[in-house]
């Protein structure tokens, strides 16, 4: 798991109030792909770094997400990235993230989905590990590998949660015991059986954004902002992230 220090500091004058933003989370913020910030698309030779689409990490860890292949590049749209269903568009982390075993996380996506057809990967790998939506609009899938692994499908007490053509905030947390909690726009989404899904597989290496595996179950829609932390945030800090994103994207 990345554990590099956060180098973002406040530039406020003494006595001047500053608006909260994710840099206040400190070193637990291991990756931050900020809307309309750090997005570049070069036009060099296909497959080479001079042809790179990059969304630069604003956490201070320089774990940018990149794509050098023209055929795999999503489109820069609305300050984020637009992935298409019928293509193989995805981004690659500069350094893979290790969510395996007892490694906790909190992830936040601001999404605008364009279809429910098939599985849609949010984060993926070259093997079996991934986080994404199932073929049904109200289910989420989480899969790890190795000891303690399971291919979890989370079904919620409320149906039709992850609607189309609307900005929403998807949050998933995993604690050190593998307990998975899901939130929509900051509101906890209970599972239909009242339980809590668990996935603490030893293998959970995340390499890609916007796809389950290469050429398999790619996301369809816009990713407008992404934040990844290496802890389960306190309810206070999680609330600060949600408020920041709601205000930014006019989400009620």
Q: What share of the chain is helix, strand, coil (3-state, %, to 5)?
A: 10, 35, 50
Whether the pLDDT of residue 178 is over 60: the answer is yes
Interatomic CA distance for residues 76 and 160, integer angstroms: 28
Of 181, 108, 80, 84, nearest to 140 (Cα)?
181
Give the integer Cα–Cα distance in Å for 172 and 182: 5
* Cβ-based neighbour number of residue 120 at 10 Å: 27
Average pLDDT over residues 183-204: 96
Beta carbons within 10 angstroms of residue 252's beta carbon? 4
Query: Which residues make beta-bridge pairs with 168?
Result: 111
What mean pLDDT is predicted for residues 195-211?
A: 95
Alpha-carbon gap, residue 68 to 12, rounded angstroms: 38
Q: Give pLDDT, residue 97.
A: 98
| Model confidence at 250: pLDDT above 70 | yes
pLDDT of residue 9: 42
**3-class secondary structure, 251:** coil
Task: Indicate the pLDDT class of residue 1, thresholds 50, 70 and 90.
Answer: very low
Distance CA 106, CA 227 (A): 8
pLDDT recorded at residue 117: 79
Confidence at 16, pLDDT banded by 50, 70, 90 = low
How many whole angstroms separate alpha carbon 184 and alpha carbon 212? 21
Question: Average model confidence (pLDDT) for the chain?
Answer: 92
20 pLDDT band, cuts 50/70/90, is: very high
By CB atoms closer than 10 A (0-12, 13-18, 19+), residue 16 is exposed
Inform me whether the pLDDT recorded for 15 exceeds 80. no
Token pair 């934040």 in the structure block, residue: 227
Percent of the chain residues past pLDDT 70, beyond the cut: 93
Tokens describing residue 67: 């794509």
When pLDDT is cut at 50, 70 and 90, the band that residue 8 belongs to is very low
Q: How far apart are CA 119 and CA 138, in angstroms?
A: 12
Are the CB atoms for 69 and 47 separated by under 8 Å?
Answer: yes
| Structure tokens that stand for 237 in this block | 């800090």
pLDDT tens by residue, 43-96: 999 999 999 999 999 999 999 999 999 999 999 999 999 999 877 999 999 999
pLDDT of residue 135: 81
The DSSP symbol for 46 reads T
Stretch 107-128: mean pLDDT, rounded? 94
């Amino acid at each position: 798991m990345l554990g590099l220090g956060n180098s973002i500091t406040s530039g406020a004058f003494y006595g001047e109030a500053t608006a909260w933003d994710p840099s206040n989370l400190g070193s637990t913020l291991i990756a931050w792909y900020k809307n309309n910030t750090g997005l570049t698309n070069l036009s060099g030779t296909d497959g080479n770094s001079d042809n790179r689409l990059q969304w630069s990490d604003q956490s201070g860890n320089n774990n940018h997400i990149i794509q050098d292949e023209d055929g795999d590049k999503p489109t820069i749209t609305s300050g984020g990235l637009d992935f298409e269903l019928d293509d193989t568009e995805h981004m690659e982390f500069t350094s893979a993230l290790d969510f395996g075993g007892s490694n906790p996380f909190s992830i936040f996506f601001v999404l605008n989905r364009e279809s429910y057809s098939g599985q849609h990967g949010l984060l993926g790998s070259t093997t079996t590990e991934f986080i994404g939506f199932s073929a049904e609009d109200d289910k989420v899938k989480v899969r790890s590998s190795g000891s303690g692994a399971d291919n979890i499908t989370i079904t919620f007490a409320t149906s039709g949660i992850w609607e189309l053509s609307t900005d929403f905030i998807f949050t998933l947390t995993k604690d050190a015991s593998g307990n998975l909690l899901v939130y929509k726009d900051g509101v906890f989404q209970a599972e239909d059986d009242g339980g809590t899904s668990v996935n603490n597989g030893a293998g959970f290496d995340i390499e890609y954004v916007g796809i389950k595996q290469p050429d398999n179950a790619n996301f369809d829609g816009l990713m407008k902002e992404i934040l990844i932390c290496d802890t389960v945030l306190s309810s206070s800090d999680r609330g600060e992230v949600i408020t920041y994103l709601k205000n930014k994207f006019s989400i009620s």
